Structure 1
């Protein structure tokens, strides 16, 4: 089974990455290979019968429909990104006709809902970023900058879009905003000239985002300090920064990191360690990111590696799904490898509840980097998770959620972890 968790450019340099091909939105042409999409297997719902070629990303549209974008080079003869939609809380999934051609690996992809009828997919092609409005099919390259290594993007409650990105010519992280759906980008600025791999998360209130990044950047990037900052939207497309600080300073390998922000609480999560000893750790701020308490173990079972986490907020707090990997010899089973959910209430932000029985098809590791993906239904306060699991020896894309199988438990049950600490109020985002 796996086992190298550093997912870097080795995989992405493949025969498929021929950037001279024209890129565009196109109608998918079925490959003719059998691709059953909707039958159910146990408690898992099949989204697609093919293993993704790369990452996946999801969001909910304002009308309640759930969407999933997949870097896929098998389902059609011409597309490299396909999109699935569910209109019934994840019971069934249908591939929409449009997608992105050509067939290749897209190393960075993010789906964002910006309210009303705006559902965007941002992705990298070569060293440029592109945007596609899945609802109205508008498509364009982001021309405000180029030579981009990686990016992250989010939307505010006003519908404005914000992109943070790092340049592949050095260690500079920059940002800009858009108020017209990503056609034009305004208010550019440099975040840091000693930074890499920005990750952003918009608060549940939609007015303040948390930024995390490596910086200063060491030769082994994953051992660098991780920093945090807050940005408040002062007008659509305009951000004001505050409170830059280090949140992790040790030199252990930290391949994954990111924040979730809800009800004035920020959870900063990151992985620590290398294969055979990977845990998920957490620091919590109860004053909107002004300062953080002491680090604690969020998922640290000594018998497994915990990684590939996908974290988002729900109505009452934090929702995290991740891969629990036993590192066993041979193929994974439902006993050895699992998709695990942990959730936390904003009112008790360091008390963790765990759900173990999500995946009936054991997850599998791959250098393709298709991490599990959490999706939240903010209209009905339900959640779900996508992952690639085994059906016999075949790798397929599955979904499960609390609507279809009533996964989430009752918060009156015994929590599996408590951590007591305190930080103090700050008026930045009450």
Structure 2
């Protein structure tokens, strides 16, 4: 009797990216790598697993990520507390410190890959999701803050995204935030009857996050709260104006949002988000800002830093809404054949076409011409090459154009010598 097993499915919030979907991922990744190279950013690859204390110290003990969302466990072999990275910045800063990357010069670096948060899956957000994380380490001026934002505007333009807007704020420095914090806590205590349970819990540990509430009953209270911007000193205001002036130079529109605080503890001075109304409640496509204290907090020498992260699933969603198709052809050329000798010659022809740079599929096994052509059409190939007994004897292949370009008056099918096919494809594809 054959034993049956329960079908194993992917974990909730962990999404498979199947072959017909991954081609558009690869195309987006290639665009992103080319875009980052234009600005001198180089790839860094950090481990998925880090010590839990890295994120508790770097992100903040009382943030939602550390309190609720991290995938953490105790390593049974050496009793270490480990966490699957919930974001890239802390790990990238750890690597920068560990390998003394700032010893000789500032660094422009990026990571791209999966991160993990245990939260309720929703549109554009999963428990395993993907980020593009870009960091400029060792740069202190407002010019780099602005350059990052200008970079992003270029990416949106390259992808044809128009319904994304920029929101901007400054969090000042630690002493300015401390003075604002005291005033904010006093305001929250005065309005405690309005606060929901989550706001009361955060009131003394992370009061800035209370202002980021989505609770309609708390909106008036949040709007009337003391503004951090009013507590900024001369240097912080000058830095922020330096950013704004460069954005105006570049013709980039922005909205000042005094309630924009970001969700992580390590930010100071400039913070920004690019947001859209096209993704439902999860409207933030990209967020970032300056975090000058993080290197010292994680054990390194004090150094300035600024960066941003983009959610790839959300970016792909927007790209496809803008008209980018998720479908990509499997190959350029599909070779059909009839007979063993013909199949062997088809394999050699395919290799010569690959030498010329074409993506080629040779039909596997033996099937009727009808079924092979059906498979060729489904592959998305631009052309099918046909090798039957007559073609093999003459040293030719029949070339059938499956998707002729508009206005192309040349024949849909022609017969060509094997050694002339690559050049013909070059002139017509």
The answer, yes or no, to whether TM exceeds 0.5 is: no
Please give the TM-score of this superposition, normalised by the length of structure 2.
0.22
Max Rg structure: 2
Structure with greater strand percent:
1
Structure with greater helix percent:
2
